[in-house]
A and B are shown apart, each in its own frame.
Chain A
Amino acid sequence: MSQWEPKIVAFMCSWSSYPGADYAGLSRLAYPPNIRIIKVPCAGRINPKFILSALRQGADGVWISACHPGDCHYMEGNLYASRKFALMKNFLEHTGIEPGRVHFSWVSATEGHKFAQTAKEVVDSVKALGPARHMIKKEAEVA
């Protein structure tokens, strides 16, 4: 088990958390190397199905990060998205996905520190849960 390292898929808004990650890089703020970022224009672009897809593909964790409420580059994308995310997170957890697999945060372009800190928290929390067990799409079995 000591060898296991979680794979975490992150969806980041291109105006806040994605540059926030760049800012962390610029500032050389270390965080664990388990996160794979997929850039999207806005939190609004993130279909909750992406989370499901990541889990089906075997991701051990999912992290979604966007502009702070009120700071959306597209004015209100993250406010709409926030409702979808809140429902999705509760629903996943209600149906048996452990709390701590799917994370959400608001990180702005200048919050390199918050980015690195949140990345650590996300990785720690997923590590504590161990490898994903549910929702994973295995290769189709021939009956």
Chain B
Amino acid sequence: MQGYTQRIREAAKRLLAEKKVDVVMGFRKGTIPFMNEPFLAKSPEQVDQLLWDGNCGINLANYLSGRKDRIGIVAKGCDSRNIVVHLLEYQIKREQLYILGAPCHGMIDGRRITEELAGKEPLQVEEENGRIRVSGKGFEESFDRKQYLQENCAICMHRNPVVYDELVGDLVEEQRDVDRYADVREVEGLSPEAKWKYFEDLIAPCIRCYACRNACPVCYCPTCFVDESRPQWVGKTVDPTDTRTFHFLRAYHVAGRCTDCGACERACPVGIKMRQFTKKLEKDIKEMYGYEAGVDPESRPPLDTYRPDDPRDFAK
């Protein structure tokens, strides 16, 4: 992964100099550890701010909707899948994009490392040989990178970008023996009452800040259902039914479109694991319709189409 930064900068410089793109979308160092920030380099002079490491978890596709300019974009596996979703949903045109594919080794779950530090403030984070070295005032600790990946990254099966114009690193070996749905199956095995309780506990801390929605690359409706007044799905007061409705409908709206990029959980200030909602839909869609979001730019999203032999035994 070390060489990525250099190659991103070289490519960005070239693309901007040759006027192939108007901007290059990537990451630069953030103001706090574990949190690089999205950055738009608009001139060759700015490209040296671009960098790449395990803290580039934000899904850059979220910034593409409706842009009219030509964009060079650094895309790891999930970003590229969301680019495909955007292409399928006419949010951007392929010819506007120059995709710098970044084969991904998984993004670091900074939240969990911070917890391990038990109050010590990390000031510097470095990655080397599969270890994460965190140092601060008077301490230095090292973590096994594999153990501290974001949950969605740990079970990711599309680390390599699915579309790209050039690569900024060598393709990585995809994880094969991953059980993506162990947690979903566990819930499936519960009684209805226990299922209800499981999700009730899961979303209990929700303050309905909608950060999950805002971080999600596929949530781009001009008016969200939470702002509808007739019917008012989500009221102004803290009502558990409304909170449940919000999470339920949010997940339903991204069905067949969610790439499990983890942006929602990453953005949540109270740590809700709302991927438990979306993963069930993802699993069903895969099992019933054989579809994975954002993998194939040629096939319509699963709710945009049907097959005559779709399973229909749910109905009498």
Q: Are chains A and B touching in the complex at the 8 Å CB cutoff? A: yes
Q: A residues engaging B (CB < 8 A)?
A: 48-49, 52-53, 56, 69-70, 76, 79-80, 82-91, 93-99, 103-106, 118, 121, 134-138, 140-141, 143
Contact B316–A76 (Cβ < 8 Å): no
Q: CB < 8 Å: which of B197, B200, B306 contacts A82?
A: B306
Report the minimum CB–CB distance from B275 to chain A (whole Å): 13
- Per-position 1/0 for B132-155, Cβ under 8 A of A: 000000000000000000000000
Contact A97–B316 (Cβ < 8 Å): no
List of B residues within 8 angstroms of A48 by Cβ? 252
Q: B residues engaging A (CB < 8 A)?
A: 184, 187-188, 192-193, 195-200, 225, 231, 233, 235, 237-239, 241-242, 244-245, 248-249, 251-252, 255, 277, 280-281, 284-285, 288-289, 302-303, 305-306, 308, 310-312, 314-316
Contact B306–A80 (Cβ < 8 Å): yes
Q: Pick 12 A–B contacts, CB within 8 A, sort by A.
A: A56-B231, A69-B312, A82-B310, A82-B312, A87-B252, A95-B195, A95-B244, A105-B315, A106-B312, A118-B316, A137-B241, A140-B237
With both beta carbons as reference points, the residue of chain A lying nearest to B225 in the complex is identified as A49
Contact A98–B192 (Cβ < 8 Å): yes
Contact B199–A106 (Cβ < 8 Å): no
Given contacts A52-B249, A95-B199, A98-B192, contact A86 B314 (CB under 8 A): yes
Bound Cα distance A49, B192 (Å): 21
List of A residues within 8 angstroms of B197 by Cβ? 96
List of B residues within 8 angstroms of A80 by Cβ? 303, 305-306
Bound Cα distance A104, B316 (Å): 6
Contact B242–A86 (Cβ < 8 Å): no
Contact A97–B192 (Cβ < 8 Å): yes
Most chain B Cβ neighbours within 10 Å, of A49, A94, A97: A94
With both beta carbons as reference points, the residue of chain B lying nearest to A80 in the complex is identified as B306
List of B residues within 8 angstroms of A90 by Cβ? 280, 284, 314
Report the minimum CB–CB distance from B302 to chain A (whole Å): 6
Contact A95–B248 (Cβ < 8 Å): yes
Report the minimum CB–CB distance from B299 to chain A (whole Å): 14
List of B residues within 8 angstroms of A97 by Cβ? 192, 196
Bound Cα distance A1, B242 (Å): 28
List of A residues within 8 angstroms of B238 by Cβ? 143
List of B residues within 8 angstroms of A89 by Cβ? 314
Report the minimum CB–CB distance from A92 to chain B (whole Å): 8
Contact A135–B244 (Cβ < 8 Å): yes
Contact A52–B315 (Cβ < 8 Å): no
Report the minimum CB–CB distance from B158 to chain A (whole Å): 22
Bound Cα distance A137, B198 (Å): 19
Contact A84–B303 (Cβ < 8 Å): yes
Contact B245–A143 (Cβ < 8 Å): no
With both beta carbons as reference points, the residue of chain A lying nearest to B238 in the complex is identified as A143
Bound Cα distance A96, B245 (Å): 13
